[in-house]
Structure 1
Amino acid sequence: MTTRIAIIGGGTGGLCLAQGLRKAGLDIAVYERSRTRTERLQGYRVHINPHGAAALHECLPPGLWQRFLATTGATGGNFTFVTEQLRDLMVIDSELTYSPDPASNHHSVSRISLHQVLSDGLDGILHHGKEFVGYRREGDVVVCEFADGSTVEADLVIGADGANSRIRKQFLPGAARVDTGIIAIAGKYPLDEETRKRLPARLTDGPSMVMPRTGAGLFSAPHELNGASSVNDETAEHDPVLFDNTSSYVMWAFAADNRRYPAGISSLDGEALRKLVLDLIDGWDPAFKELVSGSPAESVSRLPIFTSTPVDPWPTSNVTLLGDAIHSMTPFRGIGANTALRDAQLLCRNLIAARKTGDVRTAVADYEQRMREYGFAAVRDSERSARQFVSENRVGRTMARGMFRFFQAVPPLKRKAFSDHGDS
């Protein structure tokens, strides 16, 4: 008997799963509430770590895997921890994290380009304009209901509908997301022949983590295409600042506890947010002021930081969850998308295997047990990094800066401690 699988949500994890299941010949459909891609996509880069790369390699057809690789940016730069005066604390050489195998390496990719790759070839499978409102069970069948009045029957429903998942709210009403009290302000600095001259190589060659003495932090990372074959579609015409995926840039994000920001920050536009960051980094190296002031106001946005709370095991059924829909995390380790891809890889494997055994319920139970373990470990690690990033503890920050300098002075210890940097 064929298992009808409905995936609710056309984001990174849901589409990766759809590609893997489609490649294996399973009966699937994806339902995405956005009518067009311009309703949801932003132009910032996403870091794909070895977990994410392995998942994409396994789930995508060979042609799409090669297309993904063709659209990624250069990843050759070192990862550097620096002071607010742009003095090195520690440099993680790119050789420590480089793998000659693309399926186990790190990649920088435009979110737009990644979505283009993941949605390619899903005609008749990916349905736009389908806003999920709820589900009901009729025997062993799940009936999904949409805002347009339509319904879809499925034998297995997978909620991949993001951090504000409606499926999670119905399926696991006790599963919560909480405000961390941290606010990030992010933007992107366009790189061209002229603007490159205005920034030091440290900020254009590789990612940097800025650690001032207390209370805040700034992360920057270049997305350097260097001839990559990203191709714009209708998104670029919609908004060339946010939706262009053919130009190089440096993405940056400043973060601090919300008590450091003025009241009413939620009402500030991009220009006001940019000015606010400039005020908050007053006294930092001029390179950081250039990075922020040279970013178009339209690219600057406020990002309140939320995180999931732990969820106790639940009885396995014919509804399950994937990615941010179950283990939403802060962006401070850059592992949210990669954890969703890891979910997609594991669930895809299990469902393909279940086609032979006929035991879909056991396949889902195994997925849920393993996903909870690594997924919520990632949530905890991410939140811990977020707290450290904005810590007001001057003594602790001073000790951390000293620790980085120590590792920098003892290369063997640095290699041992940071050889898997960015993998988890």
Structure 2
Amino acid sequence: MRDKIRVAVVGGGTGGLCLAHGLCRAGVEVAVYERSRTRTERLQGYRVHIDPNGSAALHECLPPSAWARFLATTGTSAGGFAFVTEQLRELAVLEAKPDVDPAASHHSASRISLHQVLSSGLDGILWHDKQFVRYESGPKGVGLHFADGTTAEADLVVGADGANSRVRAQLLPHAARADTGIVGIAGKFPLTAGSRQLVPERLAIGPNLVLPPAGCGMFTAPHEFPESSENDDTFALDPVLFDNTAGYVMWVYAARTARFPAGLPELDGPGLRAVVLDRIHGWHPAFSRLVADSPDATVCVLPIRTSVPVAPWETGPVTLLGDAAHSMTPFRGIGANVALRDAQLLCRAISRGGDVRAAVAGYERQMRDYGYKAVRASARSADRFVTESRLLRTFSRGGFAAMGRASRLRKKLIGARG
């Protein structure tokens, strides 16, 4: 019979909650300690892309009812992934493949909906208003101390408390995060019956990577909620940020820090919009429309940082998951998916029973391997996104244009044969 262990997860984000569900299903005693005072405090209103790795992890860890609810809340994208110029000229479009197996497919998810799904069904397991302060390892386990003066005990502590992880700061004080020298400004353009008439169809039907001549980049992606979507108590808190039914186009403009005015982080929504509008002057007017008509509260500045991979550490009763272990830039859209993969892998390791220390060591070896690879790949994508090299940007645009021509020719040939 497998010895019962107690697992404490510090942080109630995507990876930590997914792990909690998986451990619950496996019969492992688990508690999640989240610093937010309520479930609604930490919700955000932007879209997140769930790739096949993330889908597989959610499918495996979530109970069937929660998995079905996740699928019911995902959005649709009919237009494929496009590479376009700043004048909205299509270079290439990667057509979306039909979803044969939802557990091996791509999904567009609202962060609001995803967090609702992950935080439900954890009564007595998910504890809010628990700001982690420190841990103490002893012969009988690990003691956790919280800012409210309370404590908890566990046999294994999982730091899933994000990029600024306090667990990581104590476990690996030498592990650093670096400023990439890149800044993004993001916003959310509401999709309504009226606003759809103001932008070209391309922006409303699928994600777009915008490739200007050099020095900056832009990404847009629509999220359409299914008709079954419902608002909960979050909508009453802020109907702009927490609306869970109205479609929108998320956009992000990014460039090197030196290209922005000093004091950018202190600007409010209107000020940030003005900065972006100034820098995309001369682009297709649809991009200016996206920016100008985004509500103030949805426009924010995003300093882009990345973790610095460290050498393997000695496995103990404390480990890390997600951004706490390997935070990365958002430019490949894989951070949440890598965290979900962590949760799946660690859940498997713990659920098999046996020596917990050996199980965690095996998890850490694999997690460092794919996690740090993702960190490096994401950093390279960030550099390419804002490249100052006109030659490199011209080469990229030419490559995508050639890919687009080949795709159109292939479709034409297939049509002729049919």
> Which letter does structure 1 place at the counterpart of 2:266?
S
1: CA distance between counterparts of 2:226 and 2:72?
A: 11
- Shift in Å at residue 93 of structure 1? 1.2
- Shift in Å at residue 406 of structure 1? 1.5
> Contact (CA 8 Å) 2:225, 2:244: kept in 1 or not?
no
2: CA distance between counterparts of 1:388 and 1:413?
A: 28
> Which letter does structure 2 place at the counterpart of 1:322?
L
- CA 1:207–1:414 in 2, change beyond 3 Å: closer, same or farther? farther
> Contact (CA 8 Å) 1:213, 1:397: kept in 2 or not?
yes
- 1:134-170 CA deviation, whole Å, 9 max, x = no partner? 0011214110100011111110000000000000000
More divergent stretch after superposition (234-243 vs 283-292): 234-243
Hey, what does 1:401 align to over in structure 2? 397
Q: CA RMSD in A?
A: 1.4
1: CA distance between counterparts of 2:308 and 2:288?
A: 36
Hey, what does 2:370 align to over in structure 1? 374
- 1:291-315 CA deviation, whole Å, 9 max, x = no partner? 1111111110001000000111111
2: CA distance between counterparts of 1:174 and 1:163?
A: 14
Once the two structures are superposed, the pairs formed by residues 282-321 of structure 1 within 5 Å of their partners are: 282-321=281-320
> Contact (CA 8 Å) 1:407, 1:414: kept in 2 or not?
no
| 2:409 equivalent to 1:410 | no
1: CA distance between counterparts of 2:276 and 2:26?
A: 49
1: CA distance between counterparts of 2:284 and 2:393?
A: 19
- Residue of 379, 383, 387 corresponding to 2:379: 383
Structure 2 residues without counterparts, runs of 5 or longer: 412-418
> Which letter does structure 1 place at the counterpart of 2:184?
A
2: CA distance between counterparts of 1:295 and 1:336?
A: 25
2: CA distance between counterparts of 1:76 and 1:315?
A: 47
Hey, what does 1:333 align to over in structure 2? 332
> Contact (CA 8 Å) 1:21, 1:28: kept in 2 or not?
yes
- Shift in Å at residue 412 of structure 1? 10
Hey, what does 2:95 align to over in structure 1? 93
Hey, what does 2:14 align to over in structure 1? 12
> Which letter does structure 2 place at the counterpart of 1:377?
K
Hey, what does 1:189 align to over in structure 2? 189
Q: Identity percentage over the alignment?
A: 62
Secondary structure class of the residue paired with 1:320: strand
Hey, what does 1:179 align to over in structure 2? 179
> Which letter does structure 2 place at the counterpart of 1:188?
K
Would you identify which runs of 4 or more consecutive aligned residues in structure 1 move more than 4 Å? Answer: 412-415
> Which letter does structure 1 place at the counterpart of 2:392?
G
- Shift in Å at residue 199 of structure 1? 0.7
2: CA distance between counterparts of 1:26 and 1:242?
A: 36
> Which letter does structure 1 place at the counterpart of 2:121?
G
2: CA distance between counterparts of 1:13 and 1:287?
A: 36
| 2:66 equivalent to 1:64 | yes
> Which letter does structure 2 place at the counterpart of 1:277?
V
TM-score w.r.t. structure 1 length?
0.94
Hey, what does 2:238 align to over in structure 1? 239
2: CA distance between counterparts of 1:163 and 1:301?
A: 18
> Which letter does structure 2 place at the counterpart of 1:195?
S
More divergent stretch after superposition (229-238 vs 243-252): 229-238
1: CA distance between counterparts of 2:309 and 2:296?
A: 37
Secondary structure class of the residue paired with 2:352: helix
2: CA distance between counterparts of 1:378 and 1:296?
A: 33
- Shift in Å at residue 40 of structure 1? 1.8
> Contact (CA 8 Å) 1:271, 1:298: kept in 2 or not?
no
Hey, what does 2:81 align to over in structure 1? 79
